[in-house]
Amino acid sequence: MKILIAMDSMKGSLSSREAGEAVEAGIRRVWPDAGIRICLLADGGEGTAETLTTAMRGRRQQVTVTGPLGEPVACGYGISQEGQHRTAVMEMAAAAGLPLVPKEERTPLRTTTRGVGEMIRDAVERGCTELIIGIGGSATNDGGIGMLQALGWDFLDRDKKAVPDGAAGLRELCFIETGRVLPGLERCRFRAACDVTNPLCGPGGASRVFGPQKGADPKLAEEMDGWMERYAKLVQGIFPAADPAAAGSGAAGGLGFALRTFLKAELEPGAKIVMEKPGMLEGIREADVVVTGEGRLDGQTAMGKGPGMVASFARQYGKPVIALAGSVARDANRCQEKGIDVFFPIGKGPATLEEAMEKERTKENLADTAEQVFRLWKLAAGRREKGGKG
């Protein structure tokens, strides 16, 4: 019996690795000698760098950068070497993520992506020519100008002085100058792991949709949207093909727009990038059954998120797929259209959200549910075998 486990992280509770190990523990209670392979899974948010670095057999590089509120933050990214080719894998959230900002201090007027640019600079100076950046989980709404400042672009106010950090910088922005851009960027290929399709501006744009969760009230969100629109017009004066309406431009508070326009990045579903790396597709091809899942299984799971992407590839190889989730929404049956054959919530009885997300409780529930699922699988397999012999 060969089983591939590819669990996404259960945000606020378990990492992809921890979830996979919990599922394995449950299966081994039933099938101790099963051939089990765990592949880490992510979709551009938390865990993307670890997942890709592990798959590419890379190493962790530590660096201290400017945090979202301007203070030093220690973070890391992965570096993988294949011959003369060196790849960096990083998450913008490591330098500018929402968890780095205390709730009482959250305001996109101040938060900056400067540390993301400092991570990129460090990687380029270490010889990396391909950079993969997960852009989920941001605390920022600065259009990516902080990142670009760290890479040598100058964003200036009417007096030709550097604009302040955060969305306040977009408010003051009058000029963009390119004379000090970091050498070597033009030789680099950038790929952004992005799971949202929002444009930069408008009702569905970065400021109005994501601004409130970063500390903006409705009035500020509307003002920031106007600043973002003016920023886009200034950028189009340098890059006429810049498209603020392109899908994903509003990701990470406009970082998607900056990456696509200034660094020629390709914005792709994070799960797709993960699936391309060594191990995952091979594991699916060889498996008798695939187990995947995440914290909440719903209609969005089928729209390019990690478990949905795993299921779509498994379907191509004719492999059955079981999904385990912390909770299951009413529209989760849409996942079955994408290749998830059956799904199970792991909860046991009534619990508050905080209780349900406790790490040890989640591990136990995952293992216990996996055990029961594979008891049923083994029972059915045994009966099929007896029927065949008869």
On the question of a common fold for 2-39+279-389 and 48-271, the answer reads no
A 10 A CB-CB count for 261 gives: 24
- Classify residue 17 as exposed, middle or buried by CB count within 10 Å of its CB (0-12, 13-18, 19+): middle
- Output the pLDDT for position 10: 86
d(CA 128, CA 121): 10
Topology of the domain comprising 2-39+279-389: Rossmann fold (3.40.50)
Could you tell me which of 73, 79, 67 has the C-alpha nearest to residue 113? 67
- Output the pLDDT for position 46: 72
Could you tell me which of 309, 297, 236, 263 has the C-alpha nearest to residue 43? 309
Largest Cα separation within the chain, whole Å, is 89
CB 157 within 8 A of CB 163: yes
| Encoded tokens for 235 | 């950028």
| Encoded tokens for 307 | 């478990």
The CATH number for 48-271, chosen from 3.40.718.10, 3.90.1510.10, 3.40.50.300, 3.40.50.970, is 3.90.1510.10
107 phi and psi angles, rounded to 5 deg: -155, 120
CB 295 within 8 A of CB 327: yes
Domains in the chain: boundaries: 2-39+279-389, 48-271
d(CA 16, CA 18): 6
Entry pTM = 0.81
A 10 A CB-CB count for 32 gives: 7
Return per-residue pLDDT of the chain as tens, 390 residues. 999 999 988 877 898 899 999 999 999 999 999 999 999 887 777 778 888 888 888 999 999 999 999 999 999 999 999 878 899 999 999 999 999 999 999 999 999 999 999 999 999 999 999 999 999 889 999 999 999 999 999 999 999 999 999 999 999 999 999 999 999 999 999 999 987 889 999 999 999 999 999 999 999 999 999 999 999 999 999 999 999 999 999 999 999 999 999 999 999 988 788 887 767 888 999 999 999 999 989 887 877 688 988 999 999 999 999 999 999 998 988 889 889 999 999 998 888 878 888 999 999 999 999 999 999 999 988 777 776 554
CB 61 within 8 A of CB 77: yes
- Output the pLDDT for position 388: 59
